[in-house]
Chains A and B, each alone.
Chain A
């Protein structure tokens, strides 16, 4: 077992070395990040161990500024020689990049001064044999769940822990250890000519908070079997429910559209939308970066800026963009402490669970899987492959595949009727299922 405190001190020293070396080579400012991660990843398939991978990843990166010019370099090599050469490479690039009035570290006054322990580190002292046993229990449960399950892609257990340290020449330095464990299972079912695969997983920072292996397997099997006999529906307009795990993608698209880099490039359909009505009045979207054990929790962002709670949508109205210091300067605004993205985002739920949403929709499409990247962030045009279930009288009728759903995100956001209580918690962006009033479904 590595002593994490010692390791953290080592990485802090590395960051310090990188920053000192950058100054020695003439940089007027610099920032550096170092990470070190190790773990175990194994797969059991058809009852036998298929792969055992021991992972160990190191990385360091440095960005130097010569006035308003910037250069970056990174490597996995932690040797003193590599540090010197990496800084040298970054400095070399800074000779050729342009003077950029917006470039530079975040303002010194914004650096996080308190670094609370967010309880993100729960290493799992897991022997390979135990891990194999857990994955086996998971896969066995999946294979035993239904006789139509005839094949498997296996159950995979991944356990990681690591350290990340960031520092810059304002004198900021921060670092924390974290852990992440997951167990997933994918099985294949067959009925007549129809062959389908689906999966399920559990994910947590703390092994004790993971779902039981048997439950993960069972859900994977049920999801697979429920898709057997999928057919198409005719081309039509209809209401659509995005099940919570795919609704996460819609919420991420919203965040993508109010991200500073998309805004200053004019590459967003939500340009100049502050204070505009983006969602119906019942919608609130909130970020909570200091959640204990949160999947994306951090006390400071990728520039050392203190993170804070933030409302993005209140009563349907856009309150804030998602900004790092560069985008903020480009837009003439102040960073929101979101270099590196949002941290633990949540949309408020209504009163209905998924069953309730189905009843409310009455007739329409329940989407459980999306395929492809058919989203144009510049226009908001949305067109993606989908699979799921056709719903009538509030009840699931049959599984559906080989269809597309299309619309425009602006209209889809305003067409949001209800957010379910069935919140997806395995993501740093959390939401229940979404009922959207109307989308174009293309099928047979």
Chain B
């Protein structure tokens, strides 16, 4: 039995007096000839957050949750119930409710087996006590001071620090017994700068599946402060963004949100099983220009989107989605994989025990090409160079996607010139990907603050890409 399973049992089951044979009993309740799959997902999570504003530590809060979600699947029907009371009778009742989607079948016994210890992509720690409260408060203050000392135009600084530990244990009637202990920390800085009555904002941040000292290493936290201020000051000089269709060069790293929206969601298994995605039924087809290779990789050590095992107990993996422009694969959870007769790719994720798992991204990025970033910009006569983004959104059926630039510049005669105000970029996923004409050699992953929302469920994710050029994309500015 793996250490992770032991930790999960000690954290979740032992305090409420549940033992492994209770799991067998619950799973037994979920078996029957008409049941194809069933699982129980136990979760115990703790989260703390701190907010500094106006130079003072304004808020500190702590949340602790635990519960179990029980799911039974028959064909393409899913029954689901959950409880925040981890008592055997309550859980057995939830199991009955979940399996009520089928009315036939007899109980049988289930033997679950712990898998050998999987590779550990992150240490099974609780990051909350990894710094003393005094040191956390001190960190926030230093970030605040760093932002303010950059420039007298900085008028407001908000710093937030969040740490969480998520312990999960999943047992399924296919014999799966697996667990994960997931630390996650995040620090965000938001500043407002003012000049001649004009106010603009800038923000930055980062995070990882690590302890809080991640922010102390390499002056990371102070770096976020400087970066947020730099962005706000750039925006103070921004002119109207252009409106219309033009070549767009995206910087490396966080602009990879393009891939997340333009192709990522459309390649999730559920949409493709149901045939509602613009990418449905297109495996093996050219869906992007040949310079695009895009992967979803849950195995990057310490990254925000990484998982030792997903929320169905499947080991995460690196899945090639698009290789040299050819659609190679979808991201799958167990349920959609079974119905599509393929294997799960370890992308079964859920926000919590109170939500059903579905195929979700982990860290999605494009592999590097060979071109120097400067050479890419030099090819553009008149266009946009966008380096920082807020959120994005996609309509997976029509393929329309948007993402909003928060820092962008004009490119004029092959040179980056004036900063422009934030603008939304819109395109059609499959079409835009065929217009990627150049890919830089500077692959970068984002700093670790991404959150993806789907059907009301939020999960942490990562994105990344090298500098790349899209020959034509619509830029939603106000300028002519």
Contact = CB atoms under 8 A, between A and B. Distances in A.
Interface stretch (A297-305, A369-377, A417-425): A369-377
Contacts of B395: 197, 371
Nearest to B78: A51
A387 B400 contact: yes
A24 interface: no
A232 B67 CA distance: 48
Contacts of B80: 51-54
A378 B156 CA distance: 12
Contact of A70 (B59, B82, B427): B59
Given A374-B390, A403-B474, A404-B476, A267 B201 contact: yes
Most chain B beta-carbon contacts within 10 A, residue among A103, A371, A407? A371
Given A267-B201, A372-B404, A96 B60 contact: yes
Given A374-B402, A374-B423, A383-B478, A51 B77 contact: yes
A383 B64 contact: no
A269 to B, nearest CB: 8
Interface stretch (A11-19, A71-79, A114-122, A200-208): A71-79
Contacts of A441: 243
B77 A75 contact: no
A10 interface: no
Contacts of B61: 71-74, 90, 93
B57 A235 contact: no
Contact of B156 (A51, A92, A265): A265
B274 interface: yes
Contact of A49 (B82, B101, B245): B101
A244 interface: no
B276 A151 contact: yes
A87 to B, nearest CB: 11
A440 interface: yes
Interface in A252-292: 265-267
A98 interface: yes
B278 A195 contact: yes
Interface in B359-397: 390-393, 395, 397
Interface residues of B, number: 76
A212 interface: no
Contact of B58 (A85, A98, A402): A98
A442 interface: yes
Interface string B94-108: 100110110000000
A97 B59 contact: yes
Interface string B383-425: 0000000111101011011111000000000000000011111
B176 to A, nearest CB: 21
A402 B78 contact: no
B26 to A, nearest CB: 16
A235 B397 contact: no
A22 to B, nearest CB: 14
Interface string A350-388: 000000000000000000000111101011010111010
B78 A235 contact: no
A4 interface: no
Contacts of B48: 93
Contacts of A96: 57, 60, 133-134, 136-137
A153 B274 contact: yes
Contacts of B116: none
Given A98-B58, A197-B276, A266-B192, A407 B133 contact: no
A374 B404 contact: yes
B65 interface: yes
A441 B274 CA distance: 34
Interface stretch (A55-63, A174-182, A312-320, A336-344): A55-63
Q: Which 9 A-B pairs have the closest CB atoms?
A: A404-B476, A93-B60, A385-B402, A98-B56, A372-B402, A197-B397, A374-B424, A72-B61, A442-B243
13 contacts: A50-B77, A51-B77, A52-B78, A77-B66, A93-B133, A151-B275, A197-B398, A266-B155, A372-B426, A402-B474, A403-B474, A406-B477, A442-B426
